Chains A and B, each alone.
Chain A
Amino acid sequence: MTVVPHRVGTILAFGAIAAVIAIAGALLQTERLGPNLLLAGVYLVGLAVGALFFTAVQEVTGAAWSDSLRTIPATLPSTLPMATVLLLLVFLAHPETYSWTVEEQSGLRGVWLSRPFFIARSSLYLGLWMLSARLLTRPAASSRVAAGVLAVLALTGWLAASDWLMSLTPQWTSTIFGVYVFVGFVVSAVAAMLLTCVWVRVRNPTGRSVSEGQLRDLATKLLGFSCLWAYLWYCQYMLIWYTNQPHESTYYAVRTGVDWRVLFFATVVLKWALPFVLLLGKAGKRRLAVLALAAFSVLVGHWLDLYVMIFPVVATDRVSPGLLETGMALGLGATCAWVLRNCDRLEDPTMTGVNRRNSEP
């Protein structure tokens, strides 16, 4: 019998506390359970898809700088089964989260937003992602496979964002929404990677697996992707604000209204402005505390981004997150910690395609 490592106990205890809080919250407010499950599922999907995207890009470009970090993006897609359970719970047990299950849509929209087709599509996305994760972590993974995975991710990520999040308001459409959500996924995954790297560095300051240069490069990636996210946020907001069409601007009218305004703009501060200021200079990228703060800010900002996307339409009783949301968020943290718990022990990273090629004589 093996000795249970110290950290497993900590994570389990943390998860148990989160579960107790979440169950208490769920009992108090059953009607908020659907949106909460959706948020948690999409959050985990985001980490997984973002990590898959990162790995695939590294493979396609033949990048060598990230070789020893690859364990982390290779591990993150392990959140997918959990995400699948959460999302299927929403689709099967809480279909009322989507108003189109109650009010039939007309025409092509009605065909697209029918429950069997919706669930089949969602299963297809999740299946393709799990398959991609399997293919990318094989030792024989090639840049050709990775390029295929990138194409699949682009298409499924866009469709999944439209299906799971945009269809919460069936009348509202925005062509940039899929890209916006997908880039948000990538930002959250890079932030999770950076946070894990900082943790590895703190636990093992002299270890070879994460160098100071790699931390800096990863922080630059986070800065860049965060800016891309902010750019897309601005594009969507500005175009809708400028044309001011009633069927488009209602989305933002609710979110920039008195109730939601603070949370809505806090998203931009947490996911872009704060990390931007922290990571712009060279000095900030050298300090572990600053890196951790920036990454954490992005992770919280991403959660808030999804919260502001989902909750104004489906849970209108109050604005601020309550007991259930707190429990679910802590549970998300515990899940990620559980998935990534062994990342600091692997001095030899997973043998990905590039590693294998580089190690050949």
Chain B
Amino acid sequence: MSGYGLLATFETEAALVEAARAVDSAGHTIVDAYAPYPIEGLPTLAQDQASRVGWAGLSGGVLGAVGGLTLQAWTSAFNWPLNIGGKPQLAWLAFVPVAFELMVLGAAAGVGLAFLRLSRLRPRWRTPGWRDTWPHDRFVLEVAATGEARLESARSLLRAVGAVVVSEHGNVRVFSTPTATAQSFRWLDRTLIGVACAATGVSFLLWPDWTRRNLAYAPDMAVSPAVTTYSSSAVSEDAQTLRAPVPGTVPRGPLPLHYEATEADALRAAVELQVPAGIAAEPDRLRAEKLFEIYCQPCHGSDGHGDGITIKRGFQPPPSLLTQHARDMRDGQMFHVITYGQKLMPAQASQIRADDRWRLILHMRRLQQRLPVDPPPFGSPPAPEPPPP
């Protein structure tokens, strides 16, 4: 491959710079210059020829920044909109750090790739052997010249400007003869490439669904044999995964109540239900107070006068919990009222546990003991006689 390029060696820095100018103005291509230290005027010569590294860096940076912004905008505002701390979903200000990092990454990758490309350092199996005979303490100019005539004119020009040695072995980085050792291991390279290609091909054939993970190490955690809640079941006759409980099943915890939301059933509950002994023994006053504050106080008021915050905002006031009527009401009936609701009061069963409802009743009893009796609401019918115990 001799004759592709020329390596001219010079004794001084000035000779190298001068030769580079001469070669450049004669129209030959300077591949590179080698010197033991950076030379001032020389970079401008090289820069005028190839200054595309900066553009590659800019493109990479812009690509990275735009990519980062797009990724974040798409993931957090379009594909899966999330409300994070009440910030707008397209929170550009918060996207900046990631976009900035990706910009740096893109710019660095762009510069690195452009550097490799412009230096013609592509990835290869065997790195080209740098010639040990190259002088490290001299100034060397590498000139590309194809064709005998160009080569000859370049050689005579280099001799004329004072090159000490002009060697023809040329661009060793592109054309290098592998060493004997490398030759003998070539079969290994080929085997490895063959195995990689075969494995890729087989994987394409065996796992054609690219939308899911096709191969996983120890997949038992990710793919469990249990069916998920709403997926169809291959086992049950109606193909439903969720099963209804067996008829007559009794849930754990409080027993089911067999009442309707009617006044008759409320009176029945007054007779049948009592405060469970466990709760009467340990009423847990603090919890009861807290529950009252959460569920009752908004309408009934903190003392049960029926002057809660919703009343101040215009909601129909409930009768006071401190009237004689409320004091005479049996625990069981009160439990029925809380559980199923009464008139404007909605049922609370879905949000207050049964044992907590009993605790609330005990809390109201405490209020009634502590505070004076309220008069009955204006125009209300006389309280019915309490049913006999």
Contacts and interface: CB of A to CB of B under 8 A. Distances in A.
Interface residues of A, number: 9
A238 B93 contact: yes
A244 to B, nearest CB: 8
A237 interface: yes
A282 B85 contact: no
Given A281-B54, A282-B51, A282-B54, A242 B96 contact: no
A4 B128 CA distance: 70
Contacts of A281: 54
B54 A241 contact: no
Nearest to A243: B85
A177 to B, nearest CB: 19
B54 A242 contact: no
A241 B54 CA distance: 35
B54 A238 contact: no
Interface string B75-91: 00000000001110000
Given A234-B96, A237-B93, A242 B51 contact: no
Contacts of A237: 93
A238 B96 contact: yes
Contacts of B96: 234, 238
B94 A238 contact: yes
B25 to A, nearest CB: 22
A242 B87 CA distance: 8
B219 to A, nearest CB: 39
B100 to A, nearest CB: 9
Contacts of B54: 281-282
A237 B92 CA distance: 13
B58 to A, nearest CB: 8
Nearest to B97: A238
A350 B138 CA distance: 38
A280 B62 CA distance: 13
Contacts of B94: 238, 242
Nearest to B61: A280
Contacts of A242: 85, 87, 93-94
Contacts of A238: 93-94, 96
B51 A241 contact: no
Nearest to B51: A282
Interface string A215-254: 0000000000000000000100110011010000000000
Nearest to B54: A282
A255 to B, nearest CB: 15
A239 to B, nearest CB: 10
A229 B94 CA distance: 18
Interface in B47-82: 51, 54, 58
Contacts of A244: 85-86
A281 B58 CA distance: 9
A237 B97 CA distance: 13
A174 B87 CA distance: 21
Contacts of B51: 282
Nearest to A281: B54
Contacts of B93: 237-238, 241-242
A104 B96 CA distance: 40
A238 B94 CA distance: 7
A244 B88 CA distance: 13
B91 to A, nearest CB: 9
Contacts of B87: 242
Contacts of A241: 93
B208 to A, nearest CB: 45
Interface in A182-220: none
A282 B94 CA distance: 31
Interface in B298-314: none
Nearest to A241: B93
Nearest to A237: B93
A26 B178 CA distance: 84
A234 B97 CA distance: 10
B37 to A, nearest CB: 15
Nearest to A238: B93
A177 B347 CA distance: 56
B114 to A, nearest CB: 15
A281 B93 CA distance: 26
A219 to B, nearest CB: 15
A103 to B, nearest CB: 33
B59 to A, nearest CB: 13
A241 B86 CA distance: 12
A72 to B, nearest CB: 24
A94 to B, nearest CB: 36
Contacts of A282: 51, 54
A112 to B, nearest CB: 32
A142 B94 CA distance: 45
Interface in A244-287: 244, 280-282
A238 B96 CA distance: 9
Contacts of B58: 280
A282 B48 CA distance: 12
Nearest to A213: B40
A241 to B, nearest CB: 6
A237 B87 CA distance: 15
A238 B86 CA distance: 15
A215 to B, nearest CB: 15
A234 B92 CA distance: 12
A280 B85 CA distance: 37
Nearest to B84: A242
A239 B206 CA distance: 50
A282 B50 CA distance: 13
B90 to A, nearest CB: 14
Contacts of A280: 58
Nearest to A280: B58
A238 B99 CA distance: 14
A237 B94 CA distance: 11
A302 to B, nearest CB: 23
Interface string B89-118: 000011010000000000000000000000
A241 B87 CA distance: 9
A65 to B, nearest CB: 12
A282 B53 CA distance: 11
A234 B100 CA distance: 12
A242 to B, nearest CB: 7
16 contacts: A234-B96, A237-B93, A238-B93, A238-B94, A238-B96, A241-B93, A242-B85, A242-B87, A242-B93, A242-B94, A244-B85, A244-B86, A280-B58, A281-B54, A282-B51, A282-B54
* 8 cross-chain pairs, A with B, having the tightest CB-CB distances, nearest first: A238-B93, A241-B93, A282-B54, A234-B96, A242-B94, A282-B51, A238-B96, A281-B54
Given A237-B93, A242-B93, A244-B85, 8 more contacts: A238-B93, A238-B94, A238-B96, A241-B93, A242-B87, A280-B58, A281-B54, A282-B54
